[in-house]
Amino acid sequence: MSALFRISVGVVVERRKAMSQWTDFIWQPVAVLPDVPDATPWTVIKHDADRTSFYAGPAIVEFHTTETSHYRDNLTAGAKLWVVLRPTEVADPAYQIACVTADPFEGEGYTEAGNDIVESVPMPEVVRDALEAFVAEHHVEQTFYKRKRDRPDTEALGRRSRTGEDDR
Distance of CA 97 to the CA centre of its chain: 13
Residue 148 resides in a domain: no
N- to C-terminal Cα separation, the chain: 59
Is the previous residue joined to 122 through a cis bond, with omega within 30 degrees of 0?
Answer: no
pLDDT the model gives residue 89: 86
Residue 158 resides in a domain: no
Residue 128 resides in a domain: yes
Residue 29 resides in a domain: yes
Give the pLDDT band (50/70/90) at residue 164: low
Residue 47 resides in a domain: yes
Residue 168 resides in a domain: no
Residue 103 resides in a domain: yes
* Digit-coded pLDDT (tens) for 123-148: 999 999 999 999 998 877 777 778 88
* Digit-coded pLDDT (tens) for 18-51: 888 888 889 999 999 998 999 999 999 999 988 9
pLDDT the model gives residue 73: 94
For residue 83, the enclosing domain spans 5-138
Q: Are 39 and 46 in contact (CB under 8 A)?
A: no
Residue 36 resides in a domain: yes
Is the pLDDT score of 57 beyond 70? yes
42 Rama class: left (phi>0) / alpha (psi -120 to 50) / beta: left
pLDDT the model gives residue 155: 73
d(CA 77, CA 52): 30
State how many domains the chain has: 1
Is the pLDDT score of 162 beyond 70? no
pLDDT the model gives residue 160: 65
